[in-house]
Structure 1
Amino acid sequence: MDHPEFLTALIAFVVIATITPGGATTLAVASGAQHGFRRSIPLIAGMAGGLCSLGAGSALGLGTAIHTFPQIQVIMQGLGSAYLLWLAWKIARSGAPNATASERRSIGLGGGLLLLWLNPKAWTVTLAAAAAFANLTASATSLAIIMGLAFGVAGSVSLSIWCMGGLLLSQLLRTERQWNAVNGLLAIALVLCIVPLWL
């Protein structure tokens, strides 16, 4: 590692980037409220894995393709927006957890990966980190490993915290009306996450 002093700054950047509200954190809250923490682990693992792969890929220069071919980003924005709208619709219609809801499958590993891979915001954050901390090491492979681990671990911790917040929120909800209101607010929050993608 050529510049170890950059590592602390990278960790701070990654923690702030992963803990702040967004589509992934909103989905983690909704999953924690509806399915509990244990059944949300595959979703969290998928989103953290997505962050890990994006961090590593950005360090290896995969982001160059997005800058070289801007239409790729437009396609990602369109697919990502459609996926977020579909997730918001599912959350809004989920109602209160019950025997039937407990049998419903939560969004799993694949859904979490897809959410991150189609999220231009996640690409932007990881590309910014790769550019800002390129001097951390002279080896692109070493940088990819460091970036992948940093985003993967920070994402796991941050999303777990948000998921636990959703679980705690579920303990406060008693009526179907309360659940519908919270699900509606979470769905709206997810839809609002689409706006920055197009700005």
Structure 2
Amino acid sequence: MSIAELSPLTLFVIVSTITPGGATTLATASGARFGYRRSLPFICGIALGLASMAAGAATGLGGVILAFPSLQLAMKLIGTLYLLWLAWKMTRSGPPHLHSNIARPTGFFGAVWLVWHNPKGWAVAMGAAASFASLAAEPSHFALTLGCSFGFAAILSLSLWCVAGLILARLLRTDAQWHAFNAVLGALLAISIIPMWFE
């Protein structure tokens, strides 16, 4: 597989992972509240979840999900409720208390769970699998290529969003600024749910 053959896939994966959405909003909020190091389990969980979804789509798992509309609807409802709960919590939060044990970032397994219940993520993974299937003759090789591409791109893009949140956190000085910032992030997270219901 040459660089020229991989270039369109690379561009697709970068654009898919770096554009604003639920995961990028949560990465920004996590960076602002907990810093980059404490957000790493979340970033790695999202990356592994997305990588495994892409690999699963490349091997045909996405087709199984598409074949059962009731499973799609259940995934969509569970994902929506979870994201709305996170948005509500985010909107109601004030300034971070980084030395407190009460507030914790979303962990590794929570992030994997979140991605696997996101129909938009499945749509992107299946779109990539359908569009770039000719890149590899063997399904296992294609699954590895697609999974690694999405995993690495997710780590890089979510790291950028997390660092952006960390930088923004240094600019926020008052409780009112923190409440406004969290309200905006909560609203963006809630809005990011809308496209999954109109695909």
Give the RMSD, CA atoms, in angstroms. Answer: 1.3
Unaligned segments of structure 1, at least 5 residues: none
- The answer to whether the 8 A contact 2:33-2:98 is kept is no
Question: Per the alignment, in what secondary structure is the counterpart of residue 89 of structure 1?
Answer: helix
Question: Per the alignment, in what secondary structure is the counterpart of residue 149 of structure 1?
Answer: helix
Alignment match, 1:35: 34
Alignment match, 1:104: 103
Alignment match, 1:124: 123
- Residue 58 of structure 2 corresponds to residue 62 of structure 1: no
Distance 1:187 1:101, change over 3 A: farther
Q: For the residues of structure 2 that align with 1:68 and 1:105, how far apart are their CA atoms?
A: 38
Alignment match, 1:149: 148
Cα deviation digits, residues 31-68 of structure 1 (max 9, x gap): 00000001000000000011110110000100111221
Alignment match, 1:161: 160
Cα deviation digits, residues 138-162 of structure 1 (max 9, x gap): 1000000000000000000000000
How far off its partner does 1:87 sit?
0.8
% identical equivalent positions: 49
Cα deviation digits, residues 116-138 of structure 1 (max 9, x gap): 10111100001000000000011
Query: After alignment, is 88-97 or 74-83 more displaced?
Result: 88-97
Query: Mapping of 1:70-81 within 5 angstroms?
Result: 70-81=69-80
Alignment match, 2:23: 24
Cα deviation digits, residues 1-51 of structure 1 (max 9, x gap): 4x7633111011000000000000000000000000010000000000111
How far off its partner does 1:98 sit?
2.1
Runs of 4+ off more than 4 Å: 99-103
Give the total of aligned pairs.
198
Cα deviation digits, residues 140-196 of structure 1 (max 9, x gap): 000000000000000000000000000000000000000000000000000001111
Alignment match, 1:94: 93
Q: For the residues of structure 2 that align with 1:42 and 1:63, how far apart are their CA atoms?
A: 26
Question: Per the alignment, in what secondary structure is the counterpart of residue 137 of structure 2?
Answer: coil
Query: After alignment, is 186-195 or 5-14 more displaced?
Result: 5-14
Unaligned segments of structure 2, at least 5 residues: none
Distance 1:99 1:132, change over 3 A: closer
